[in-house]
């Protein structure tokens, strides 16, 4: 059985004789791999000429102009059929930031990146989906990933195909749970009956099924690695269920937090909020997620966030110039009549955005009066305090279907005899390379085209 091939990254801060000794030692002792090429990153302090390096080392040597040229490293590694990139370099040639930059490129190419005291394996992806797959990833929680995933699913439905959204949450069901949203009616009483059974009725898979009238499968996951691998997940079992559903034509797998579902996909969508620190894009494993993406959706792209959004888009393009970027804002769409009514609005949005954007939009567009709002939908104690203060003066509770929307907000509203209306958030394009609807349609076409090649290699399990 052949052993995996490895490349070594070296630099001129080491004497050539030391590099020679280290590589020869590795070739003798690391019997689980074949070291086939060295990539010289830079530095001239302790070497003579490039020819001296080539003559001394027992393997071919390639020289980089820029030590952090991750694309060139990947290109050379691929030429030699490399599966493992071993980093034998050191400061100052490679800083910690540069190492993560290289690691992101190496992992995105499906190779392993390791050094003397660290190892990052490529994300293991199983090719088990028997239908086209779009993966929706995020760079954090509360970035609007669910709204984008739902919009993607509804767009697919408009194209005449029934989507199935697989969502693994940290509060997901013990076994993958299928919900046929087109067969159910979204009512407060129905959601409370789910909560009374001990289930999380405001879980994303219920929200997307009931609002989008689509098929969803709720799964669960625990833990998330630095590169995005979940420690434990039932997404694989969920995909198997989706394979068996005759109603389903297309699968969307929505990541949880920053995790990346371990399933081979045909196209990838990355959701980044204007509030995402730019370092989460440019450092650590942010570049990995960008490299894996075909469409990047920059959310919360309000006018007051314009400077942040422009910096984020520039950073994304520097990592992957070919990736399509769309900028969007979210606007609420009540799923019931609130015209002429006094409204208590419960949300997970930031206080500033509620005051400056959402409340004026609701009042202007739907002819209501927001008498009180709470930004604490994901904080049960504070939400209860807000409900006690403001719900009595309202005719209707208008709430996002998230966090404590059902077991706290809906329950309290019904107890006081208030009407309950749920709200959907719809992404509206405000810039970028492409508007979000066109971007999603292009993503669907790309996924279907790639699926034709992938389906030949689907593994039965």
- ∠ CA 137-144-294, nearest 5°, is 35
Can you list the alpha helix ranges (DSSP code H) found in 213-270? 235-244
> Do 296 and 206 belong together in one domain?
yes
pLDDT the model gives residue 461: 65
Average pLDDT of 360-372?
Answer: 96
Q: What is the dihedral of CA 14, 15, 18, 19, to 10 degrees?
A: 70
| 3-class SS of residue 456 | helix
> Do 72 and 142 belong together in one domain?
no
pLDDT the model gives residue 7: 98
pLDDT the model gives residue 66: 85
pLDDT at 391 over 90: yes
> Do 367 and 403 belong together in one domain?
yes
> Do 408 and 303 belong together in one domain?
no
Considering all CA atoms of the chain, what is the largest pairwise distance in Å, rounded to the nearest integer? Answer: 85
CATH code assigned at 383: 3.40.50.2300
Task: Note the pLDDT tens digit of each residue in 241-257.
Answer: 999 999 999 999 999 88
Can you list the alpha helix ranges (DSSP code H) found in 177-277? 188-196, 204-212, 235-244
CA distance 167 to 206: 10
pLDDT at 190 over 90: no
Average pLDDT of 10-39?
Answer: 93
pLDDT the model gives residue 205: 87
Q: Residue 286 phi/psi, 5° resolution?
A: -60, -45
**Number of domain units in the chain:** 3
For the chain, the average pLDDT equals: 93
Average pLDDT of 228-237?
Answer: 94
**CA pseudo-torsion sign 60, 66, 68, 74:** negative
Q: 352 in a domain, yes or no?
A: yes
CA distance 17 to 22: 9
DSSP letter for 431, please.
Answer: E
pLDDT the model gives residue 233: 95
> Do 153 and 297 belong together in one domain?
yes
pLDDT the model gives residue 204: 82
What is the extent of the structural domain holding 250?
Answer: 133-330+429-456
Task: Note the pLDDT tens digit of each residue in 410-426.
Answer: 999 999 999 999 999 99
Question: How is 278-337 classified by DSSP, letter by letter?
Answer: THHHHSTTHHHHHHT-SEEEEE---GGGHHHHHHHHHHHHHH-TTSEEEEEEEEEEESS-
pLDDT the model gives residue 43: 79
CA distance 107 to 291: 10
> Do 348 and 391 belong together in one domain?
yes
> Do 90 and 24 belong together in one domain?
yes
């Amino acid at each position: 059985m052949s052993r995996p091939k490895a490349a070594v990254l070296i630099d001129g801060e080491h004497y050539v004789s030391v590099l020679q000794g280290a590589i020869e030692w590795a070739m003798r002792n690391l019997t689980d791999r074949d070291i086939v090429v060295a990539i010289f990153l830079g530095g001239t302090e302790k070497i003579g000429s490039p020819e001296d390096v080539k003559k001394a080392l027992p393997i071919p040597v390639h020289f980089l102009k820029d030590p952090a040229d991750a694309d060139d490293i990947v290109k050379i590694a691929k030429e030699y059929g490399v599966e493992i990139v071993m980093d034998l370099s050191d400061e100052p040639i490679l800083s910690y930031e540069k190492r993560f930059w290289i690691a992101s490129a190496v992992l995105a190419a499906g190779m392993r990146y390791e050094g003397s005291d660290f190892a990052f394996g490529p994300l293991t992806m199983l090719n088990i989906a028997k239908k086209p797959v779009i993966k929706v990833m995020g760079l954090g929680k509360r970035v609007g990933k669910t709204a984008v995933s739902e919009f993607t699913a509804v767009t697919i439905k408009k194209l005449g195909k029934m989507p199935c959204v697989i969502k693994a949450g940290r509060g997901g069901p013990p076994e993958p749970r299928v919900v046929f949203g087109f067969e159910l009616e979204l009512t407060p009483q129905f959601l409370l009956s789910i909560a009374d059974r001990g289930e999380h009725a405001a879980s994303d898979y219920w929200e997307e099924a009931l609002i989008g009238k689509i098929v969803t499968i709720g799964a669960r996951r625990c833990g998330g690695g630095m590169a995005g691998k979940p420690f434990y997940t039932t997404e694989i079992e969920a995909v198997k269920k989706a394979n068996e559903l005759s109603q389903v034509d297309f699968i969307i797998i929505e990541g949880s937090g920053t995790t990346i579902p371990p399933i081979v996909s045909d196209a990838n969508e990355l959701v980044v909020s204007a509030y995402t620190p730019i370092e989460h894009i440019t450092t650590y494993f942010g570049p990995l997620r960008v490299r894996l993406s075909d469409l990047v959706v920059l959310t919360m792209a309000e006018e007051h966030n314009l400077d942040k959004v422009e910096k984020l888009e520039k950073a994304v393009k520097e990592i992957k110039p070919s990736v399509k970027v769309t900028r969007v804002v979210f606007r609420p769409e009540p799923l019931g009549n609130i015209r002429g009514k006094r409204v208590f609005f419960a949300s997970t949005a930031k206080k500033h955005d509620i005051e400056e954007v959402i409340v004026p939009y609701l009042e202007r567009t739907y002819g209501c009066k927001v008498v009180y709002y709470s930004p604490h939908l994901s904080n049960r104690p504070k939400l209860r305090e807000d409900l006690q203060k403001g719900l009595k003066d309202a005719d209707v509770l208008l709430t996002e279907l998230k966090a404590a929307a059902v077991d706290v907000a809906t329950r309290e509203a019904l107890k006081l005899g208030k009407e309950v209306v749920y709200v959907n958030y719809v992404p509206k394009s405000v810039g970028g390379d492409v508007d979000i609807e066109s971007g999603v349609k292009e993503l669907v076409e790309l996924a279907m085209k790639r699926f034709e090649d992938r389906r030949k290699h689907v593994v039965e399990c």
